[in-house]
Structure 1
Amino acid sequence: MKIHCGIGSTNQAKMQAAAAVFSDDKYDIQGFAVDSMVSAQPFSDEETKEGAVSRAKAVLEKDVEIGIGLEGGVMPMEDGLYLCNWGAITDQKNRLFTAAGAKMILPEEIAEGLYRGEELKTVMDAYTNRHGVSHQEGAVGTFTAGVVTRAEMFTHTVRLLYGQWYFYS
């Protein structure tokens, strides 16, 4: 019997990350549009983590055994605005595990748009003159020349989550 895993997003990069880790035939992955319960553009590690936890818990209410939440955000630091990401995994036993992924500084012109109140996905679409960058390579893929994509960045976080969940299972 397959273990039904829900991911609290229908974003393609996040779905790819979950599918890359939960790739065994015993898992069935489905994306759900759920509210992160945080601002559209999280502006700290704490808020980004809270969004991931909210997504994981919300999707667990969708008749799945495992709920996965992934949230991208930014965090101001002394030397600039950094891209960040957080993940959470929960299950029907009410266990909750969290993990964070890589961080990298954003160019000043991108940070300026975010400080004006725009979302990173909107700023990136304008910057690249394309639509849907957040579903594809993301900001991390753009500013690493494709060396690391958004899906790969989230895959690392999902691996950390899966490892914790599996260890305690």
Structure 2
Amino acid sequence: MKIIIGSNNPAKAAAVKNAFHYQQTEFLSLDIPSGVSEQPFSDEETIKGAINRAVGALETGNGDIGIGLEGGVQETSHGLLLCNWGALASKNMEPIIAGGARFILPVEIAERLRAGEELGPVMDDYAKKENVRKNEGAVGIFTNGLINRSEMFAHIMNLLAGQFHYQKASK
């Protein structure tokens, strides 16, 4: 099986590889555009970005499965939540989607995002680190390392892989 990952982000690629580690699988990471804002600002926009990456990966990479993983934020009455969505595309089926962990972002981070900044650079500035998005992610910073970005996306990938295998087995 050939799985095309719609991102070159190492945290996302690790999550995909982990979900399919038990199979004879070839992985290819491609930089597939999300087709949404650099900072998705709703579940709907984040889902759309994940689906766009998954479908684009499948088509561009000529694989069996395309995977799209997208992080975003969702405004709520409790504050601005970090949200994460994934999509799995395969020939002859509608994309499968799954969502992951959510938590309230600190007020100073939320204010900067509402003002138009993107979470990745804001987190680099806040944590005084480089490439937080390619390493522990905001989730790693705000959980004091108990959960990192790859682990957060691993949960989504397990939901996607499980649904995919269920659908294949039930046909």
Into which bin does the TM-score normalised by the smaller protein fall?
A: over 0.9
- 1:27 shift after superposition: 1.1
Looking at structure 1, the residues matched to 25 and 42 of structure 2 have their Cα atoms a distance apart, in angstroms, of 32
Letter in 1 for 2:8: T
Q: Which residue is equivalent to 1:39?
A: 37
1: CA distance, partners of 2:76 / 2:41: 11
In structure 2, C-alpha distance between the alignment counterparts of 1:117 and 1:95, rounded to whole Å:
33
Report SS of the residue matched to 2:80: strand
Unaligned runs of 5+ in 2: none
Q: Which residue of 1 aligns with 2:117?
A: 118
Give the secondary-structure state (helix, strand or coil) at the position aligned to 1:86: strand
After superposition, give the CA deviation of every residue in 1:28-67 in whole Å (9 maximum; x if it has no partner): 1111101101000000001000000000000011211100
Instruction: Measure how far apart 1:20 and its partner are.
Output: 0.9
Q: Which residue of 2 aligns with 1:131?
A: 130
CA distance in structure 2 between the aligned counterparts of 1:45 and 1:95, rounded to whole angstroms: 19
The count of residues paired between Structure 1 and Structure 2 equals 167
Alignment of 1:1-16 (within 5 A): 3-16=1-14
Compute the displacement of 1:24 (Å): 2.2
**3-state SS of 2:129 partner:** coil
**What TM-score comes out, normalization by structure 1 length?**
0.97
TM-score between both structures, scaled by the size of structure 2: 0.95
Name the amino acid aligned to 2:53.
Answer: R
| Aligned equivalent of 1:148 | 147
Q: CA deviation at 1:95?
A: 3.4
Unpaired runs of at least 5, structure 1 = none
Deviations 1:80-101 (A, max 9, x none): 1000000000112233210000
Structural mapping, 1:1-169, within 5 Å: 3-61=1-59, 62-169=61-168
Secondary structure of 1:49 counterpart = helix
Q: Distance in 2 between matches of 1:49 and 1:133?
A: 22
Alignment RMSD, CA only? Answer: 0.8
Work out the percentage of aligned pairs sharing the same amino acid.
47
Q: Which segment drifts farther, 19-28 or 113-122?
A: 19-28
Q: Secondary structure at the match of 1:71?
A: strand
Partner SS for 1:59:
helix
Instruction: Flag as ranges the 4+ runs of structure 1 deviating above 4 A.
Output: none
